[in-house]
Amino acid sequence: MSEILPAFFCGERRLASAGLTLDSINPATGEVIARFPRCGKSDVDAAVTAAVQAFPPWRSLHPEERAAQLLALADRVESDRERLLRLDVRDNGSPIREMALDLDIGTKHLRYFAGIVLQLRGETIETGYDRLNYTLRQPFGVVAQIIPFNHPLMFALKTIGAPLAAGNTVIVKPSEHTSLSAIALAEHIEKVFPPGVLSIVTGTGDEAGDALVTHPDVRRIHFIGGEATGRTIQARAAGMGVKSITLELGGKNPIVIWPDADVDTAIDAVVSGMRFNFQGQACGSTSRLLLQRAHRRAFVDRLAEKLDRLRSGMPEDESTEVGAIVNEAQMNKVLHYIEVGRREGGTVCVGGERLRRGEFAAGYFVRPTLFTDLPAASRLLQDEIFGPVLATVDYDDYSDAIRIANSVRYGLTASLYTRDLRIAHRFARDVEAGYVWVNDNQRHFLGAPYGGNKASGLGREEDPSELASYTETKNVNLRFA
């Protein structure tokens, strides 16, 4: 394929200054479907310079004017829904019906932050009869949004609403594995925003991403991705001064089935919680299934039957329930962990293999996999695999369940199914996770803070605190007597 899809910065479509490109590969077929710029430091420098220049007039706009442009972008995305959706599916490999929900979530976030833009306000503080003391919330300037491969268009949309509404200019660096929908989004960005306000810079993490993180004029960074990369970003940013950073990192999240839970409901919850509909490629997926020892066997047998019925298929087929792993390297990582589980003595109850025949021959398809009988120190119970691999672990009583749930370094989400409100409230209090579901899973609610504890990240999103996090507080003390 000779055509190169350009990135978008400095208010125009641009190729990488060095002329380098990256290939976009359809994970369902293994075919190269597009090429796009592999931007480097000089390209990032140009994008940041444009963002710095665009910042003063953008922050000076009335908040409702900034909100109107966010709404205009949401309208344009929705009018271009079919094209953007199919582009995302071909680039990412997840089923089309799931990616359609992603698009809706992204535009809802734009509308949400446009709607609460006037809630960004300071406060007055009593300090004396002849004084007025008040605070201002002021934008940082240039914000970098570094987003992952699992929800390309959704993250490209949902991460820009808060910083733009707060008056910052934004540079989005999509994953080098799934950049096409962000590139297509630029066609609407240039019709809505002034040049330099919102840019799309494509490239690898260690080139374009690192150049953004270490640029002295990028004072605010938001990263979604793996824990190791998050720690690297912290270290690299610290070497260039003091920057404000939020991180939404990985998880090895527990779902606890209490003995009194309805079995059919719980089995459905385990399947949906693991996010097999995204091939397990979700930070919040509940990949550790905690079952009371006495009830484990019967539950696992029924769960295995349900997993075996999940339909793997081409991502663009509306009936597909499990699509393709995003790229070959990620697929090989998943298959490696499956072999690790076998070597550790685990039992594969269902799945555990790559699909290689017929329409699956050239793609990166791995069947939903269920492990039991793993030792407590198993890597499958400790490491984030980011693939369709669910591992069970037995517990004896409540204390044992909490100990196991909290035994990993992560703390993003947790889920419990029970009819006992006493157990529900104890679990919500005791589990080390930033986002807890009881008799529910995977649902997010705009206005409710989402984020992780421990190694799962810093900061919260999806609520008014996210909007405030893209501002700095300034205190003003005025003596008028």
Q: Which candidate in 176, 207, 227, 248 is catalytic?
A: 248
Q: How far apart are the first and last CA of the chain?
A: 73
Environment class of 214 (CB within 10 Å of its CB; exposed 0-12, middle 13-18, buried 19+): middle
The answer to whether residues 257 and 274 touch, using CB atoms and an 8 Å cutoff, is: no
As a whole number of angstroms, the distance between CA 26 and CA 32 comes to: 6
Yes or no: say if 122 and 473 are a contact pair by the CB < 8 Å rule.
yes
DSSP 206-267: IIIIHHHHH-TTEEEEEEES-HHHHHHHHHHHHTTS--EEEEE-----EEEE-TTS-HHHHH
Active-site residue (options: 10, 39, 283, 349): 283
Q: Is 39 a catalytic residue?
A: no
Tokens coding 438: 């009881």
What token pair was written down for 380?
Answer: 């499958």
CA distance 188 to 174: 16
Q: Is 157 exposed, middle or buried (0-12, 13-18, 19+ CB in 10 A)?
A: buried
What letter would DSSP give residue 117? Answer: G
Q: One-letter amino acid identity for 149?
A: F
Distance CA 112, CA 151 (A): 19
For residue 324, give both structure tokens.
């393709």
Task: Provide CB contacts within 8 A for 75, sequence distance 6+.
Answer: none
Rounded Cα distance between 247 and 255, Å, is 23
User: What letters, b where the CB count within 10 A reaches 16 and e where it falls short, cover 422-457?
Assistant: ebbeebeeebbbbbebbeebbeeebeeebbbebbbb
Rounded Cα distance, 426 and 397, in Å: 13
Measured between alpha carbons, how far is 229 from 207 in angstroms, rounded to an integer?
A: 13
Q: Is 432 a catalytic residue?
A: no
Using DSSP's 3-state secondary structure scheme, residue 145 falls into: strand
Which residues form the catalytic set?
248, 283
